[in-house]
Structure 1
Amino acid sequence: MQTTIRGLALAILSSGFAMAHGISQAAECDASAGQQVFQTKCSACHALDESRVGPKLAAVVGRPIGSVPGFTYTAGLAVAKSTWNVEQLDQFLTAPAKKFPETAMAFGGLRKAEERQAVLCFLQTKS
């Protein structure tokens, strides 16, 4: 598992995205820290394996936006013609309503880059 996380972090770093968002080393990818952030800031509305107020998040990285069967999305997400990748998720988690103005997600976002990085690392292990 550690090799997979390190490989994912290296892929992020090599994309140029990481440097623009303050991610400096592959070793910084900490899935356990991401799980803690997920539990404290996301789990009231989201779970990995079932939809709650928000859609389930297992396998979100690489999944088409607005595509969880049986979950009712707001118009902007339902018609999005894209796939959730690390960059898309980072933008969304920074400010959900800025990325998708019609979102029903009543969450202001994760302002700290290290929290977003940790959650993204955790979610990648669940994809």
Structure 2
Amino acid sequence: MAAPALVQAQALVPDVQRGQQLVESRCFACHSLDANRAGPALRGVVGRKAGKAEGYFFSEAMAAATHTWTVAGLKAWLTNPEKVVPGQEMNYYLTEAQDREDVVAYLASVSKPAQK
């Protein structure tokens, strides 16, 4: 009986490279890493206050959000944005848990300060 649980746990190991591919193919229609588009720039999102990104005009609901984006918070957001911030305007989510793991792992990797 332990084998199915082990297989599931292994399936959710984040893959940063796959996450980058998913972000580029699914998120870059509205976002980019460094420029605001229909959605805010994504570089640095982990650790950023929700509804706050320099030069981006957020919806009223997002601007009123008080949380800081964490890995867990971004996974919840990509599961159901409306549940995280009712009234938000992002009408996109990822149905597959592995996709969320990979995308958030990539976003976390591009959110770390540069090493000196």
How much does 1:29 deviate?
2.2
Secondary structure of 2:68's partner?
Answer: coil
The structure with higher relative contact order (CA 8 Å, sep 6+) is 2
CA contact (8 A) 2:78 2:100 kept: yes
How much does 1:40 deviate?
1.5
Q: Deviations over 1:26-63 (max 9, x none)?
A: x9221110011111211100100111000000010011
Q: After superposing the two structures, state which structure 1 stretch, 110-119 or 86-95, moved more.
A: 86-95
Stretches of structure 1 that go unaligned for 5 or more consecutive residues are 1-22
Computed over aligned residues only, the root mean square deviation of the Cα atoms, in angstroms, reads 1.6
Runs of 4+ deviating beyond 3 Å: none
How much does 1:105 deviate?
1.2
Stretches of structure 2 that go unaligned for 5 or more consecutive residues are 1-7, 112-116
State the TM-score, normalized to the length of structure 2. Answer: 0.82
2:68 aligns to what? Answer: 83
1:63 aligns to what? Answer: 48
Question: Percent same amino acid among aligned pairs?
Answer: 38
Q: Mark the structure with the bigger radius of gyration.
A: 2
1:93 aligns to what? Answer: 78
Distance in 2 (CA, whole Å) between partners of 1:111 and 1:52 is 23
2:114 aligns to what? Answer: none
1:7 aligns to what? Answer: none
1:48 aligns to what? Answer: 33
State the TM-score, normalized to the length of structure 1. Answer: 0.75
